[in-house]
Amino acid sequence: MGQRGAEDPGPHAATVHRGSRSAALLAIVLGYLVVAALFMGIVFPEEDTEVMAFRLAYAACTVVAAIGLWRQRRWAGMALAVWAGGALLCAVVLTQPLDPGAPLRQAAFVALFSGLLWLLYRYARRLPPARKDEQT
């Protein structure tokens, strides 16, 4: 039996990809947002079915994005973009009745939120996909 050198860790060694810790942190934050959305649905049940539909759609998009980021799949960037679009839509549609006379504030909010979500999307697209043998 031969000895392995320091440069050959073997087939069962764990490989840490560039950005995997930050992707895992972002996935954990998204998981927290899912729990928060579902918890808000339990604690403050809405009689309006539109609000409940937005909440469930948001939770579903967030779960898919969190799984994609956690496992570093190729489609993680697209899933994050769909989540971002859903989050932006929910934020605009659900807050409009609360503050109908402030279109300038809403436009500023949409612009800032869109910029932040665009940066997250760019980050997720640059993540290297997990190796084939790690995708079980």
CB 84 within 8 A of CB 117: yes
Is residue 15 in some structural domain? no
Cα distances (Å, whole numbers) of residue 32 to 15, 66, 119 = 26, 10, 20
Range of the domain at 59: 20-128
Over the stretch 35-44, which tens digit does the pLDDT of each residue have?
888 887 777 7
Residue 69 CB neighbour total at 10 angstroms: 29
Residue 48 CB neighbour total at 10 angstroms: 9
Is residue 70 in some structural domain? yes
Is residue 13 in some structural domain? no
Alpha carbon 92 to chain centroid distance? 18
Percentage of residues in the chain having pLDDT higher than 70: 73
Structurally, how many domains does the chain consist of?
Answer: 1
Of how many residues is the chain composed? Answer: 136
* pLDDT in the model for residue 132: 57
CA 64/CA 33 separation, integer angstroms? 12
Is residue 136 in some structural domain? no
Is residue 37 in some structural domain? yes
Is residue 8 in some structural domain? no
Over the stretch 51-108, which tens digit does the pLDDT of each residue have?
788 888 888 889 998 998 888 888 888 888 888 888 888 777 776 666 666 777 777 7
Instruction: Give this prediction's pTM.
Output: 0.67
Is residue 76 in some structural domain? yes
From the list 68, 83, 74, the residue with the least C-alpha distance to 117 is 83
Is residue 3 in some structural domain? no
